[in-house]
Structure formats: C-alpha cells, structure tokens
Structure 1
Amino acid sequence: MIDATTTDVDVLVIGESLVDITTAGEEAVEMPGGGPANVALGLGRQGIAVALLTRLGTDPRGSAITRHLERSGVWVLAESFGAGPTSTAHAHILDDGSARYEFSIDWTASRERLPVRPRTIHAGSVAAFLPPGDEVVLEQIDRLAPEIVTFDPNIRPALVGDLDRARVRFEEFARRSTVLKLSDEDAGFLYPGLDETGVLTTIGRLGPRLVAITRGARGAVLAAEGRVVEVPGRRVVVADTIGAGDTFMASLVADYPALHDGDLTEQTLRDLAVRAVDAAAITVSRPGADLPWAVELSVAS
C-alpha cells in the first residue's frame, strides 16, 4: 500500500465495493465486486496509479475485498473503513449468462480531506444515487477539482429510487464530467422515449466531451465533438456478463488522459471503442468480474 501522505495518483475512484454472491443453479460463489471497485481493479491491473475511496466493514468480507484490490495494485484509502457489515450483491445468473441482482448496500462516504492529488476522478454506480453518500461524492469531486472527471451511472432501478430524482442526480454528475459512459439500459431508464441519438445529444449538451453508450453483445457507440463512431461486439463464449461495463469504463479511463489535450478524431474514437470492447470481451469470457491484466490487453490489441 502507498504511504498515506498527500500523493499524486493518476486516478481516484470513488464508489461502492461489495461482495458479489453469484448463484448459478444450486451453487453460490462469493467474489469481490461493485462497479467502482471493479473499475479500480481494472486500472490497477493496467499499471495505472489508482486509489479507491469506498466503504468497507472491518469484517472478513471487507478484508477479502481489500486483499483482492491490493493484489492488483489498488490503494484502498484508510478513510474507506467503518462500522457495520460490508455490502453484498446477490447475482442470479440466468440461462443467457446475464445477471439479476439483489442488493444489501450501505453507502456512506468520508467527508475527510483525502491524502491524494488525482489527475482523474472516476465515480458512478450506486454511489452516485444512494443517500447519504451521493452528496459526499460530489463534494469530493468539487474539493479535489481534478483535470478529468469520468462517470458511469450503472443504474440499478431498485436502488436509485424515483426516476425524476435519479435523472437530476445523473445530470449533476454529467455537468462535472469529461467522459461519460452508460449502457443502453441506463439510457432507456433515464430518458424513456428518446432514441440513442437523442440521448447522446441530450447528454452532450450537459458538458461531457466524450459520451459512450454500450450495447452489450452489439458493441458500443462513442460521440465527441460532433463525431459519432459505432463498433460491433466481439464473438466470444460468454461465461457471464458481470463486470463487462466496468471493464469498458476502465479502458476509457485508462486511455482518455493521453488524448485530453488533442483532437478526438473519428479514428481516435474508433481506437478507444475497439480497445474497450476487446477488453470487455475478455471479462465476459470468464466467470465473475475478473478484469484483464495489461499483458492480456496487449495480446488482444
């Protein structure tokens, strides 16, 4: 673990960590998870200097998550630990490999001044919508004032509550964001009645420079500076889809900073999308949120 002084890091991820309890048939398996924690994991495995502000209990599950993240190079901030049990998500794997979730989540985030100076802050998922921690995430972004903010709402309808409130909160994050990724299901929840073009236009007007919509097996679309690029999905044997969107997001978070001061051409957008789709294909080919390492991404490219 990095010495807890004020330290420059490439990325600070803020959001929930939890234990994924995956049930396929009669068998239940526990694995560390949570969308933001998965993004941090993926960044650490790519050699990115990444810190994580999350919420963990001082229980065996919290310890298991911490060890799992630290083995992949993630600095789990001391401010992440508190009383109460570590959160869980019970994922029931369906016949097509998709997952249906049941959550037991407590999201409280530290308001303390953090010992990091990040170039990028990534936020999203339950942590962006669930009180009382959602307000704290915004406070930390505003306090730390990073050069780049990335955001993935990763909507869980059972947890975000009223649609109007969820949309307001989403748009507060979108206005602070440089790069914003959402799934086609997220888009349908937040903006029912709008087609994909309408969603991209609406979100783009809020301020993000780059907006991505993932389409599951059908690939993804990226939009930036008036350019729109679509890429297909990859044909793979799917073990399950846990962590696919987080892998796509981690790829964007890792690759975008090198492009921040340049022109986002159609070829640049295509390269970003292809790399992210290829990374997600690796994750879905194996069980759980087992995001790829740098060497695997090098082979894939």
Structure 2
Amino acid sequence: MTGRVVVGGEALVDLVPTGDEHPDDPALRALAPRLGGGPFNVAVGLGRLGVPTTMLTRLSTDAFGEALVRRLDANDVDTSLLQRGPEPTTLAVVTLDGAGAAQYAFHVAGSADRLVADPGELPADTAALAVGTLSLVLEPGASRYAALAVREAERGRLVSLDPNLRPGLADDPGAVIARLDAIAAVAGLVKLSDEDAERWGRTPSDLLDAGAGAVVLTRGAEGLTAHTRGGGVVAVPADAVGPLVDTIGAGDSVHAALLAWLAGRGALDRAAVADLDADAWSDALRSAARAAAWTVSRAGAEPPWRHELDGSLDGSWAPARDVGP
C-alpha cells in the first residue's frame, strides 16, 4: 500500500434518535451524540482499513471537539494537520424515516470547521486529497478547500470529490455549483449519490466530459455504478447482509472503501484510476458495496475494520455489534 490520503472537510456531531420517548412529549425521541461529518467519517473509514490517513479540519476546543480528536486517534488517523479554535462544533439533528433513512437539520453558524485555514504544504508522502460535503458549501472554508484541491491536482496528486449536496444550506447555490465544477474538472474520482447528481444538475457523462477521471454513482438499494474512461459503465448490486438499522455514513463508507481499494493496488493516481478496466471496477465497487452494508447494519457512522471487510468478501460475513472506538 503506497501513499497517504489527506481528508479535508468538516467534523461534527450528529444528534441521533435513540428510540426512547422524551419525558415531556411522547411524540419526541431522546437524542444521543454521535461523532461524524462526511470527511470525518471517510478518514475514520480509511484508518480502519489500514490506509495512512491524515485529517485536515478545524475543530472546536469544546468537549465535542476533544471527543472528535480522540476518535481520530483511536482509529489510526493522523491529526498533525488539525487546527483548533474556541468556536462551537457543528451540530446535525438527525431524524429517521420508517425505512431508517436519515434526514439532517444542521446548526452551522460560526462553527469551527468552516473557519479552516490553508494548511500550506501537505505531508510529503501524500498521494491523494479527498474533499467534500458541507465543507464545500460553507464559507470561508469552502473556497479554501476548493483552492487546495485544484492546487494539489496541479501538483499531480489524486483528488477525490464527494459533493453530498444538502438543500437549503447554501447562501449562493450558483457559487457552490461553480466550485464543485472546478474541483470535478481536476478530480481523478468523483463519488456522488443519485440525489447529489440531480441537485448538482450534472450527469456522470457531464462530469467525465468536464475532466473527471471516473465517477461512481451510489443509488441506495439499487447498488453502485462506475462511469469510467477505461472500463465503460460497470454496475454492482447493493449488498443485503442483514437488517438495516440506519443509513448514516453509508456513502462515506463507500468513499473510504474505494480509496482503500485504490491504495491497496498502488492506484492512488489520476492516470491509474482512468485506466482501470471493467473487472477492476467491479471488484472495487463490490468492496465499496460491502463496506456500506456493514455500516447500515449498525447504528450511526460505524464503517468496517479491515478484518471485517476482508472476511465478508470471502463469504464469512456476520454482523458484529462490538465495533471498537
């Protein structure tokens, strides 16, 4: 396995329903804090899969920020690029529908992660930079991450993008679209959901024509599809490995598993991604689908560890509830 992945973007706290009724109103449910945020979940997922990973973000010095640092440490994620400040941690209030699908209401005013500064030089062994989600919507950090992505692509590093667009968060939707377009044009990999593609107004073919090396589209229960330069269009079904608990972090686990698959084959490189054939993409997507299956089988964003994913891919999958830190 060669090269380091730097993951840039928000780290936040999801307030997730526990199932317990609120004592003052039986229509409400008690909420429990779970550590998350798209890029944060990707970093944890990569760390669990044994990929050298560094998290780039700004964290609060509050109790939630300290807990986020501890979770990164516990999952073998390097924290040397973390920035700290007294601003509050971003909060996401989660509601679950009858099928376990998550909806989010974000509390982001003046929060620490959106105030990230340009980190300067990334670690010398960096092979890839992954960016995405809220961090590319909320200024001033959004423009800084976008500029970093373009700069690192120009230096020959693989850029991986996950837009994860959330309705109602952007003060200037046109500026967000322009920012995503600029990153996608230099990205070796774009991973997005079918909902993101619709909100962005870009098809996988559009993104390939604009310059992206490959586009992986997640389609919920319909599975994953890779639109590629070297392998055409490749699709795999979603995994059905047990009861669905919730979908929190499923897409982030896909992103982490794809990058881990590339890292394991020495392919954290734009040209290498563009040249993958259909068989390689099928294998990569199968790994990503199984990572998502592990994540949705347990509450919150709990991506698989290396031994879990390896075991499940050889047919010995079994659900586990003791998932570590």
Q: What is the SS of the residue equivalent to 1:160?
A: coil
Residue correspondence of structure 1 range 1-301 to structure 2 within 5 A: 10-25=4-19, 26-105=29-108, 106=111, 107-114=114-121, 116-117=123-124, 118-144=126-152, 145-191=155-201, 199-225=203-229, 227-235=232-240, 236-257=242-263, 258-259=266-267, 260=269, 262=272, 263-301=275-313
Percent identity for Structure 1 against Structure 2:
35
Q: Does the Cα contact within 8 Å between 1:24 and 1:93 map onto a contact in 2?
A: no
Rounded to whole Å, the distance in 1 between the matches of 2:298 and 2:51 is: 23
Q: Does the Cα contact within 8 Å between 1:120 and 1:146 map onto a contact in 2?
A: no
Q: Does the Cα contact within 8 Å between 2:245 and 2:298 map onto a contact in 1?
A: yes
- Unaligned runs of 5+ residues in structure 1 are 1-7
Rounded to whole Å, the distance in 2 between the matches of 1:254 and 1:215 is: 21
Query: 1:114 and 1:281, CA in 2 relative to 1: closer, same or farther beyond 3 A?
Result: same
Q: What is the SS of the residue equivalent to 1:181?
A: strand
Rounded to whole Å, the distance in 2 between the matches of 1:34 and 1:275 is: 22
Rounded to whole Å, the distance in 1 between the matches of 2:285 and 2:3 is: 25
Rounded to whole Å, the distance in 2 between the matches of 1:20 and 1:124 is: 17
1:143 deviation in Å?
4.2
1:114 deviation in Å?
4.3
Deviations 1:52-71 (A, max 9, x none): 11121101100001101110
Q: Does the Cα contact within 8 Å between 1:40 and 1:50 map onto a contact in 2?
A: yes
Q: Does the Cα contact within 8 Å between 1:46 and 1:293 map onto a contact in 2?
A: yes
Rounded to whole Å, the distance in 2 between the matches of 1:146 and 1:65 is: 31
Q: Does the Cα contact within 8 Å between 1:55 and 1:86 map onto a contact in 2?
A: no
TM-score, scaled relative to structure 1: 0.91
Query: 1:115 and 1:167, CA in 2 relative to 1: closer, same or farther beyond 3 A?
Result: closer
The alignment covers a number of residue pairs equal to 288
TM-score, scaled relative to structure 2: 0.84
- Unaligned runs of 5+ residues in structure 2 are 20-28, 314-325
Q: Does the Cα contact within 8 Å between 1:211 and 1:222 map onto a contact in 2?
A: yes
1:22 deviation in Å?
0.4
1:115 deviation in Å?
5.4
1:141 deviation in Å?
2.8
